[in-house]
């Protein structure tokens, strides 16, 4: 189990519908503003697949898995995920990665 200071890393792999990918990527800075202010949030990085430009991977660091779950519950209750679901070509894959090594 990760120590509190290392937190947890959460990855979310998504495949977007081709007609919305560029617009979605262009709006990411604005879209993550509520995430950045959420309790327990540490960082987020989004990367786009080299060959399949409709695939994105979000790499987030949170104080704990409970912090991330509280955030997701808030997003669901706010209705934000309904719009997100409309632009997905497939369900997202979300994984939680507790730290095993904090520094190399």
Residues near 58 by beta carbon (within 8 Å), at least 6 away in sequence? 10, 11, 12, 13, 14, 44, 45, 46
Q: Is position 20 within any domain?
A: yes
Identify the domain containing residue 51 by its residue range. Answer: 8-98
Q: What's the CA angle centered on 67, arms 97 and 86, to 5 degrees? A: 80
Largest Cα–Cα distance of the chain, in whole Å? 42
Q: Is 38 a residue whose pLDDT tops 80? A: yes
Distance, in Å, from the CA atom of 49 to the CA atom of 57, rounded to the nearest integer, reads 8
Average model confidence (pLDDT) for the chain? 91
* DSSP three-state, residue 99: coil
Residue 62 contacts residue 42 (beta carbons within 8 Å): yes
Residue 36 banded pLDDT, cuts 50, 70, 90: very high
Distance, in Å, from the CA atom of 92 to the CA atom of 15, rounded to the nearest integer, reads 7
Find the mean pLDDT for residues 75-103: 88
CATH code, domain carrying 64? 3.30.70.100
Q: Is position 2 within any domain?
A: no
Residue-level pLDDT at 4: 53
Residue 104 banded pLDDT, cuts 50, 70, 90: low
Q: Is 29 a residue whose pLDDT tops 80? A: yes
Q: What is the pLDDT of residues 48-79, one digit of tens each?
A: 999 999 999 999 999 999 999 999 999 999 88
Q: How many domains does the chain have?
A: 1
How close are the terminal C-alpha atoms of the chain, in Å? Answer: 18
Residue-level pLDDT at 2: 44
Q: Is position 3 within any domain?
A: no
Residue-level pLDDT at 101: 76
């Amino acid at each position: 189990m990760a120590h509190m200071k290392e937190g947890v890393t959460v990855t979310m792999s998504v495949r977007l519908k081709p007609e919305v990918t560029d617009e979605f990527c262009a709006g990411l800075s604005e879209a993550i503003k509520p995430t950045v202010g959420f309790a327990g949030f540490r960082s987020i990085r989004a990367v786009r697949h080299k060959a399949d430009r409709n695939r994105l991977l979000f790499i987030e660091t949170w104080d704990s898995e409970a912090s991330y779950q509280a955030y997701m519950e808030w997003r669901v209750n706010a209705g934000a995920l309904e719009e997100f679901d409309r632009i997905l070509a497939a369900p997202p894959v979300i994984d939680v990665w507790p730290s095993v090594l904090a520094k190399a």
